[in-house]
Structure 1
């Protein structure tokens, strides 16, 4: 009788208790001039909080938004939105998106998350990411509406422009950041110059000390009594 390896048996048991689901991720790299300042993510509440803590761009620039007031829900109750601003989140999550209460009842079991950012760290800075559960062959048709989000958002984000107020705020924030960088650069230059001047001063002091010591030795030799030895 051939026995299975112990770790294989454990993995099978775990899969029976906690069935693993296959997932599929679509990542769209946007051109630099085809995406404005957009940062928004949507996932189930627990996952959204984890994304905000773990994803560097969301951690630095975004926060979990408070649920919308009654009558103005933009996503199903199970979901949470992480965004840089409510304005962007509201513009990105429209009625056409299948994240509302009714649509999510049917399609939600296949949805994991979406994450759009113009501040990603890595090879590509502006990326749209969609993550779904991959159904079995019998339910593949259910993925149609979710997969349709990919071209929908490529078009929406590509055409999206911030309001003049937020554009101005973003520009001011950028100028402020540039000012901080310039100030830091000037401070470093000043510190470097000071260190060089101190080094030169120490060097000059050492040269002067040696010169004075040499002169003092010369004067001592000059003032010393001369001794003359005679042979008889």
Structure 2
């Protein structure tokens, strides 16, 4: 299997090194990642300036690795250009969860989405982070198990996978769609200039069966996603209303 690995934490993140090591058990690994952190970049694509692709100064046990002065989605586009034989794109392991509504702005998931847009299966992988960096070795076996489960499906797919620090099993889940409290926190820098931090806090508890619930209960969450955002129920309602209106006319 030909595997392309990227992330949004940047080429220097320990998470991408951990993922590259685990993924090597499944096939040939190549790495194309941002040269600096691109967290919460979403699905931004660079089109107003050229991009550069440079050999990475980081050694990945002999694996080919490049850094790009662009977004995670840029990295996938360039990676699939130089490695057209790629069969799957892995994005992560992100230091910080990508659960529920955070999927909307996740650079990690955006890289996986970009892969699917270009006809390649994309898998995003993330884990919570506290005051210290995650212990990737603690759940390495579950990363391998999750990939094995997903690779069993040979069809094109998009998956969002989240690992608790100490997993006790795997669960297939749906996205937790719950209200969040968007907070803007003002502060002062050392020069007494005002700046702002933007953060969010879930307002409601996660429902059982969702990604947030699974990770909160120490299960690895695997959520199959799709690119079609159409609200099917609302569309059917409007189409049915249009049919009734035409009958009345």
**TM > 0.5 fold call:** no
TM-score, normalization: structure 2?
Answer: 0.22
Structure (1/2) with the larger helix percentage: 1
Structure (1/2) with the larger strand percentage: 2
Higher relative contact order (CA 8 A, sep 6+): 1
Structure exhibiting the larger radius of gyration computed from Cα positions: 1
